[in-house]
Amino acid sequence: MLQRTIKKPVEVIGIGLHKGEPIKLRLEPLSADAGIVFYREDLALRIPLSPSSVIDTRMATVIGSEKGFISTIEHFLSALYAYGIDNLRVVVDGNEMPIMDGSSISFCLLLDEAGIEELNVPKKVISLKQTVEVRDGDKFVRLSPSDTATFDFKIKFDHPVIGEQREEFEFSTHNFIEEIARARTFGFVKDIQYLQSQNLALGATLQNAIGLDDHRILNPEGLRFDNEFAKHKVLDAMGDMMISGYNILAKYESFAGSHNLNYQLTSKLLADSNNYELVAVEELQSREFAKSFA
C-alpha cells in the first residue's frame, strides 16, 4: 500500500461552531512524507499535525501556538484517518474548522470530490508493541496490540435519552462511511446557554448538533442511529488518534474518554519507542489491514 494525498485542490465554506462566522476550508495535495499540515491563511501560520501542536482539549482538540490556533479539528481528522490520507495541506481563514453538520460526512464528501492520489512511497502506520493506557478515576483510554484496527467505546450519562451506550467498530473506510461518519456531536441546552454567554458556541444550532434538554432530544428529525452518541465518541477518538500523523493499527478501548485523555494517550504512546514501531503496511504480519482502505 502506498502513501496517499488528494488528486486536486477542493474547498468549501461552512460556519464555525464557536464564533458562528463563515470559515473557508481548502484542501491541497502534498508530496510523499510531507505529512498533514494545517495553515492559517489569515495569519500566514503553518501548524504541523503532532501531539506537540495541541494546546487545548477542553471542548475540542485545538492545535497552534501563541501566534494563533485552529480549533475543532477532530471531525475532519476522523475522515482523514478513514481515507488513509498521509499528506495534505489544510488551509483555513479563521481560528476553527467549519462544523458542517456536526459529523464527518461532509468532509468525506469533500475528499470524494478531490479524489485519492497514491504516491510512489510505501505507507507507514503505527503498530503497537505493548499496551498503553491513561486513566482518570474510572475513566480510561487504552491502545493494545492488534492485527486489526478496532474501536470499543462505552459511555454513561445520567440522561434518559443517552444512559449507557456502547459502540464496537471494526475499521474500514466503507464501514466508517456507513456506520460512523454521520454520527453528530451533541450538547445540552444548559451548557450551550452558558457557553454562548461566554461568546462561545455562537454557531451551534440543531442543524450541526444533537440538542438535548433535561428530558428529550430537541431535533425534530430525531437520531440517525440508536446509539449515535457512542458512535460519535468513536468518531472523535479516530480523529484524536490521527493527531499522531499516522493511522494506528491497534485496539482502542475507552470508558467515558475525552479529547484530553486521547491527547494524553497519543502523547504517552509516542514518548517511548518501546510502545510502538513505524511499519510499512506491506511488512505487517496481517495483510488484511491494507484492504480496510479499499
For 94, the grid coordinates are 479563521
For 186, the grid coordinates are 451533541
Q: Name the residue ranges covered by the structural domains of the chain.
A: 2-122, 125-293
All residues at 6 or more sequence positions from 74 whose CB lies less than 8 Å from its CB, including other chains: 60, 61, 235, 236, 239, 240, 259
Low-confidence residues of the chain, pLDDT below 70?
none
Of 256, 271, 265, 239, nearest in space to 103 by CA: 239
The per-residue pLDDT for 197 is: 84
Distances (CA, A) of 281 to 29, 276, 288: 21, 14, 10
Q: Quick one: 55 exposed, middle or buried, by C-beta within 10 A (0-12, 13-18, 19+)?
A: middle
Q: How many C-alpha atoms does 256 have within 13 Å on its Cβ side?
A: 11
pTM for the full predicted model: 0.96
Q: How do residues 269-281 score in pLDDT, each as one tens digit?
A: 999 999 999 999 9
Q: Which CATH code for domain 125-293?
A: 3.30.1700.10
Fold for the domain defined by 2-122:
Ribosomal Protein S5; domain 2 (3.30.230)
Catalytic residue set: 259
The alpha helices in the chain, defined as continuous H runs, are 74-83, 105-114, 173-175, 189-197, 228-241, 259-271
The per-residue pLDDT for 48 is: 96
